[in-house]
Amino acid sequence: MYDDHGERAPDPTTSDNCGDGAPDPIRFTDATMAYDRVPALTNVDGRLPAGQALALVGPNGGGKSTLIKAVLGLVPVVGGAVTVAGRRPAAARACVGYVPQAASLDPEFPVSARQVVMMGRYRLIGRLRRPGRRDRAAVDEALAMVGLADRAHTRFGALSGGQRQRVLLARALAAAPPILVLDEPFNGVDAVSQEALNAALTRAKAGGTAVLVSTHDLTVAQCLCEQTCLVNRRQFAFARTELALTPELLRACYGGQVVELDAGRLVVTRG
């Protein structure tokens, strides 16, 4: 939860030690990830501090999903190291709020937006307890942060794709995790939802949350993320966004052409 100034408010229901005092929420040290011992992404090296966002950019099949799974502790790290909240990723899952693509969930599931967001509190509530006043307040606040307080009782499947994506972000925010990991959250969403997602993530960063976001939208990386990691089977850059999103590095990463528009936005086209 966050106070009126965007600062993280203490939540006494949170019992997990999420590495308070750890130097970085996420750190990659020359990390190589593999499936069945076959490397899928190599030589990732960099750090994501608290209160900042890291854009994960690269072509489809280039390793973005692999890197996300490594942070979630779902893919073996066979070389180097990945640490989350100062420990192994599998031991730090409770410290990470994961936001999948809305398209990955069944829209016909008969639950309201508010019920979906309450699911984010279940780890804190416990299986044998009912949601209390603090849980209900956290859910209401999370829905307000994504601009959907007025749609709390709408069936999840009746919402637009962009609104469903905002509900999934609210579900993660409801638990006030120190780390957020988002898989293509801006993919196919409308302008209103994109603005709401941006605003919510910016406020979360202001409260100290570290944000890792996979995106194909370079404008999102430029506007939201302090750092960008360029990957295509290996790391091409891990640097401040303005240093990573250059025509030369994008051309090397994508193996295509890069067109720079007058407004300073970069668009990747296949060469």
Average pLDDT, the chain: 87
Determine, yes or no, domain membership for 143: yes
Confidence of residue 2 (pLDDT cuts 50, 70, 90): very low
Confidence of residue 262 (pLDDT cuts 50, 70, 90): very low
Determine, yes or no, domain membership for 206: yes
Overall number of domains in the chain? 1
Confidence of residue 255 (pLDDT cuts 50, 70, 90): confident
Cα Rg of the chain (Å, integer) = 18
Tokens of 125: 């509530």
Determine, yes or no, domain membership for 170: yes
- Its pTM stands at 0.87
Determine, yes or no, domain membership for 10: no
CATH number at residue 76: 3.40.50.300
Q: Please calculate the CA angle 37-43-45 and round it to the nearest 5 degrees.
A: 130
CB distance 186 to 197 below 8 Å: yes
Give the rounded distance of the alpha carbon of 55 from its chain centre.
9
Residue 12 has pLDDT above 90, yes or no: no
Mean pLDDT of 180-206: 94
Residue 192 has pLDDT above 60, yes or no: yes
Confidence of residue 270 (pLDDT cuts 50, 70, 90): low
Confidence of residue 8 (pLDDT cuts 50, 70, 90): very low
Determine, yes or no, domain membership for 218: yes
Determine, yes or no, domain membership for 89: yes
Its domain, for residue 110, covers 26-269
The CA-to-CA distance between both ends of the chain, in Å, stands at 46
Overall size of the chain counted in residues? 271
Q: What is the pLDDT of residue 15?
A: 38
Q: What is the pLDDT of residue 103?
A: 65
Residue 247 has pLDDT above 50, yes or no: yes
DSSP output for 101-120: -GGGS-TTS--BHHHHHHGG
Determine, yes or no, domain membership for 13: no
CB distance 210 to 22 below 8 Å: no
Determine, yes or no, domain membership for 19: no
